[in-house]
Amino acid sequence: MKATLKGLMLAGTLLAGGQTMAGDLLQWQNNSLTYLWGKNFTINPQIQQTVTFEHADAWKYGDNFFFLDRIFYNGKEDGNVGPNTYYGEFSPRLSFGKIFDKDLSFGPIKDVLLAFTYEFGEGDTDSYLVGPGFDLAIPGFDYFQLNFYQRQTEGGRPGDNIWQITPVWSYTIPVGNSNVLIDGYLDWVVDNDKNSRGTYHANLHINPQIKYDLGKALHWGEKQLYVGIEYDYWKNKYGVQDTRAFETNQDTASLLVKYHF
């Protein structure tokens, strides 16, 4: 099963990457850099600074999202990775509506997709996710995606063969002569998994950003420069059960500056 998932991920990645070799297939793309500063994190050192590169695009047969975090622990050391680390995800999706040139909308569903995610980072973190995805038409939202994944892990660690539900959204609120943008995602891993290496607990990670379009307010350009906060709530972070002896529930916010290019 794991080899099959890797093969599906590779096929999806190669097909999604075809737009780099055939620019006429690319419909739109956006890149950004974000700086975050926050404290009161759990498991890892409490104060963190993060620089994030993000890329999003849509192309003839689907869409892609990629991010890479570089995380600094403000001079402290994490017991596993040292004073800094990295983490990233690549999430290509293939649209059945685009591939077959058919309108698959019904009810609130605009399109049906095959969704992938590859999670990677320092240490034993690689995971492969695959499952059905849906684009939804929800009044007021700029977009709303709902993806269902089966998770497969590398290295025999617990957290294998379990399901994750991931909605992704964006909502714009006009404020004065500019806008507030609320976007983000929720990862809900619904199952526990136990093997000889330990137990991976069901967990819920909510990670929205609330951002003011400062560039538009200053007449520098719309949707280019944002300031705001990123809220981070993670119940049973990393699948580690929260206890009185070892707190793993994370509830914090980070200051944010984000520039799109």
Q: List the structure tokens of 209.
A: 């950003």
* Residue predicted with more confidence, 19 or 115: 115
- Give φ, ψ of 13 to 5 degrees: -65, -45
Q: Which residues contact 57 (CB under 8 A, 6 or more apart)?
A: 19, 26, 27, 28, 29, 30, 63, 64
Chain mean pLDDT for the chain: 93
Identify the pLDDT of residue 7. 55
The model's pLDDT over 95-112, given as tens digits with 9 standing for 90+, comes to 999 999 999 999 999 999
The model's pLDDT over 41-58, given as tens digits with 9 standing for 90+, comes to 999 999 999 999 999 999
Which range has the worst mean pLDDT, 22-31, 38-47, 102-111, 173-182?
Answer: 22-31
Domain ranges in the chain are 2-260
Distance CA 229, CA 218 (A): 19
Distances in whole angstroms, Cα of residue 54 to Cα of each of 30, 58, 182, 220? 8, 14, 16, 21
First to last CA, the chain: 39
Question: Hey, what amino acid is at 150?
Answer: Q
Distance CA 229, CA 212 (A): 9
Identify the pLDDT of residue 155. 80
Distance CA 46, CA 251 (A): 11
Question: Hey, what amino acid is at 76?
Answer: K
Say yes or no to pLDDT of 118 above 70. yes
Query: 144, 122 in Cβ contact below 8 A?
Result: no
Query: 111, 99 in Cβ contact below 8 A?
Result: no
Distance CA 13, CA 15 (A): 5
Identify the pLDDT of residue 202. 98
Identify the pLDDT of residue 14. 55
Q: Which residues contact 93 (CB under 8 A, 6 or more apart)?
A: 62, 63, 64, 113, 114, 115, 116, 133, 147
Say yes or no to pLDDT of 5 above 80. no
Distance CA 6, CA 236 (A): 27
Report the predicted TM-score, pTM, of the whole model to 2 decimal places.
0.90
CATH no. of 2-260: 2.40.230.20
Cα 3 versus chain centre, distance = 24
Beta bridge partners of 41: none
